[in-house]
Chains A and B, each alone.
Chain A
Amino acid sequence: MTNTIPEEQTSKSTLPQLSNSEGITTPQPQSPGRLVLRRLFRNKLAIAGIAIIGMVVLTAIFAPVLAKQTPDKNGIFKTYLRETKIPPSLEHPMGTDDLGRDMLSLIIYGSRISIRIGFFSVGLAIIIGVILGALSGYFGGAVDNIIMRLMDIMLAFPSILLALVIVAVIGPGLLNAMIAVGIVSIPTYARITRASVISERTREYVQASRALGANSFRILAQHILPNALSPIIVAGSLGIATAILDAAGLGFLGLGAQPPTPEWGLLLSRNKSHIFTSPWMVVFPGISIMFLVLGFNLIGDGLRDALDPRLSNVGLKAPKL
């Protein structure tokens, strides 16, 4: 195969450890993980996604440095009543709101909340979902039936509606909204995990390790669950996108983050009555949400294509294995 040389070149910048033997004509044996990463980094859209997320994460980390105005220790931004509703300018690139607060600063601090929402909700959903799915798939029978019927019931509700109901019961607030959004997506991960557990459970290597005296927990954790990892990663990154959107929706309805949190959905909601006089107060929070969600969607799509090259139709050819 002569197509290894261009592959070398494209992977050099991103995965330097692969390029230490230059000019080789036979590809080195590679771990599946590396192959996936290599495919991912050749997907322009996925790189755009990584760049977006990277940017937002850096913004969140360096918020105190980047933001012109910073909140006090209670998270409250100072108001400047002489500078209300200033249109976007060099000094205030996203304008100011009706309290004279710099929109850009609010949005910079808001990025911390959205990132937290995404990872917390999906993390919660993955932990519970994987445990339920593993139990369900490994033990089968009644356990399986009960867990999976419960998941069916949860899936019978449109997701944001179920989240709304959970928030209605446990009360509004940022943490509760994150929990609600997390609970809603448990079935996705439970189903994925269950499917891979069932397909691996009867394999010979599992029987072998059982014969060697491994207990169920060890078999599940060490041998079976790693097989479920890649679909969970794909679902997880797409899931973060949905979680951020849903939580912003809850914030918009007044059932998620509460003032004075600069959560993007909440900013949109509190600024919406100013849309005619000062549209920038509404435009920028929305663009921010879209930007971050787009980033996670791009990575999710890219990962899916990288993990299953047959599905790839983004215009690049999957490397021959």
Chain B
Amino acid sequence: MIQYIIRRLLLVFPVIIGVTFLTFAMLLATGDPTSAMAGEHASPGLRAAIREELGLDDPLLVQYGRFVWRLLQGDLGRSIMTRSPVQSELKLFFPATIELAMAAMFLAILIGIPMGILAGYRHNSFLDLTTTLGALVGVSMPIFWLGLMLLWFFGLKLNWFPTTGRIDQGVELQTITNLFILDSILTGNIPALVSALRYLALPALALATIPTAFIARITRSAMIDILGMDYIRTARAKGLVERLVVTKHAFKNALLPVVTVVGLQTGSLLAGAILTETIFAWPGMGRWIVNAIIARNFPVVQAGVLIFALVFIAVNLLVDISYGWLDPRVRYD
């Protein structure tokens, strides 16, 4: 097992180097940053000073080396717009996205797995058909449209949930991790918890659609496969209660593909967050990156993209490792 983990880790290194190089190169490809910083009509002297300060006249590899060195020290550069260090902005926006993504994944597992089990158990029933079709519609739905519909119906029409932001302006919350739910639980702040949950509900629901659909689909087909196995027939033949056959014998073995899909979907949740956050004005990484792209604020784009990619790589690595742990055969491939 340890050997397997080490092998997977070694494979990740070239990818990380590639990813950092790509994000580094992105900044170069976007043209002269001096005009974005000092304006179109900046004097040549000022431009030269900025180029000097940023070391833009050095050879490419030297610049890349400096970029990586700075990264290793946790320095992600400065936002062109606010002139503040990118990592201080990141500290606010990253937890917001993580909170949203985790809430969405929680919902997706909570809805998707039971739906998939039932649909797989009652294969070809009406319930199965609706689940299959529902899952297909779910993956075909533009998430930004669904978000708008939820916002319109539950936010504006029924007025059940607030539509934009993370928490009521009036609520006091001492932030520790910047994960508002966790912070309000840690400080025992009930009003803040209620407020944060109400704000989280709609964006999390919108973001959960696609993973719910994928999880339901994969759980269903894994259940169908496994319920047809001989050992299930044996379990039934020996008179085991049906509930135990399904939960203990079948579902446990159906879990493997489900875990994979949960992991892979966690990665794509980050991508979905880009659109969801824009609609609900959720102050997270996605909205931050999009706004930075529109404003051509490339240090922010670069840092945001890099963080997203690294999280994505880490999640995929965890999926691979858990796969090797759940199914030992994988290790010897």
Contact = CB atoms under 8 A, between A and B. Distances in A.
Interface of A: 45, 149-150, 152-153, 156-161, 164-165, 167-169, 241, 245, 248-249, 252-255, 265, 268-269, 272, 275-276, 279, 282-283, 285-286, 289-290, 293-294, 297-298, 301, 313-315
Contact of A286 (B26, B123, B148, B224): B148
Contact of B145 (A276, A282, A298): A282
Nearest to A285: B145
Interface string B26-38: 1001100000000
B253 interface: no
A160 B274 CA distance: 9
Contacts of B151: 275
Contact of B18 (A152, A241, A282, A294): A152
Nearest to B123: A313
Interface stretch (B40-48, B69-77, B233-241, B308-316): B308-316
B268 interface: yes
Interface in B122-158: 123-124, 132, 136-137, 139-146, 148-149, 151-152, 156
Contact of A268 (B19, B144, B152): B144
Q: Which of B271, B278, B308, B312 has the most CB of A within 10 A?
A: B271
A48 to B, nearest CB: 10
Given A157-B312, A165-B301, A245 B148 contact: no
B36 to A, nearest CB: 13
B140 A290 contact: yes
Interface stretch (B165-173, B185-193, B286-294): B286-294
A152 B30 contact: no
17 contacts: A153-B22, A156-B19, A157-B312, A158-B267, A160-B274, A169-B26, A245-B140, A248-B144, A249-B274, A253-B274, A255-B294, A268-B142, A286-B142, A286-B149, A290-B142, A314-B132, A315-B124
Contact of A275 (B14, B18, B152, B275): B152
Contacts of B278: 252-253
Nearest to A294: B140
Contacts of A265: 142, 144
A219 B240 CA distance: 57
B270 interface: yes
B145 A294 contact: no
Contacts of A158: 267-268, 270-271, 308-309, 312
A207 B151 CA distance: 62
Contacts of A150: 18
B275 A253 contact: yes
Interface size class on chain B is 35 or more
Nearest to B289: A164
Interface string B249-279: 0000000000000000001101100110011
Interface string B218-246: 00010010000000000000000000000
B15 interface: yes
Contacts of A268: 142, 144-145, 148
B305 A165 contact: yes
Contacts of B309: 156-158, 161
Given A253-B275, A255-B293, A290-B140, A279 B152 contact: yes
A165 B137 CA distance: 28
Given A153-B19, A156-B316, A285-B145, 15 more contacts: A156-B19, A156-B312, A157-B309, A158-B268, A158-B312, A160-B275, A161-B305, A168-B30, A168-B298, A252-B275, A275-B156, A282-B145, A286-B142, A294-B140, A301-B136
Contacts of A279: 152
B221 A275 contact: no
A294 B18 CA distance: 35
A252 B15 contact: no
Given A153-B18, A275-B148, A168 B271 contact: no
Given A169-B26, A268-B145, A290-B141, A164 B123 contact: no
Interface in B64-83: none
A235 B332 CA distance: 28
Contacts of B305: 157, 161, 165
A293 B152 contact: no
A282 B142 contact: no
